[in-house]
């Protein structure tokens, strides 16, 4: 296979991109981060320094991964994640604001995050509720599609 790096990326020193990785546009990968084979990183994600990413893992658009994290599950778009084991820490609100997302969109994404990660609903119930209660924004659809297609699971 082929490892592909999109346009406008910032890949710092001592970063390892293994075989068959696909890196989207505008991705930032800080010093010493290691990506195993078949990792996919969607557009505008940010990986802090010394992050280790397990093979076949996907990191969603505009996600932020904190330093020294071990990413062994898929990380949804628009969220913050950090730790070993990796945990989600809310919406990447500051990153979304800096990227020019409208305040209304960020508010909807916050509601979406709470629906999935701060409620008692299972994945199927949360998807159904999101489709009923939230506006059909492209960001909402992207989030729902990501969760539906995850192969490695999502951190709780």
Q: Are 119 and 126 in contact (CB under 8 A)?
A: yes
- Torsion angle of the four alpha carbons 30, 32, 36, 38, in this order, in degrees rounded to the nearest 10: 20
Q: What element of type H or E holds 139?
A: helix 138-149
Q: Are 27 and 12 in contact (CB under 8 A)?
A: no
Cα–Cα distance between 128 and 56 in angstroms, integer? 27
**Which residues are catalytically annotated?**
19
């Amino acid at each position: 296979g082929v490892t592909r790096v999109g346009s406008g990326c910032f890949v710092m020193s001592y970063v390892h991109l293994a075989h068959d990785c696909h890196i989207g546009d505008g991705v930032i990968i800080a010093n010493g981060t290691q990506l195993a084979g078949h990792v996919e990183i969607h557009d505008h994600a940010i990986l802090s320094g010394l992050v280790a990413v397990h093979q076949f893992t996907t990191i969603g658009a505009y996600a932020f991964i904190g330093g020294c994290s071990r990413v062994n599950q898929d990380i949804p778009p628009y969220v913050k994640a950090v730790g070993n084991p990796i945990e989600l820490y809310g919406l990447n609100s500051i990153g979304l604001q800096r990227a020019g997302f409208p305040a209304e969109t960020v508010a909807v994404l916050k509601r979406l995050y709470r629906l999935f990660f701060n409620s008692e609903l299972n994945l199927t119930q949360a998807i159904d509720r999101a489709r009923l209660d939230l506006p059909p924004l492209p960001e909402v659809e992207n989030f729902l599609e990501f969760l539906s297609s995850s192969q490695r699971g999502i951190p709780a």
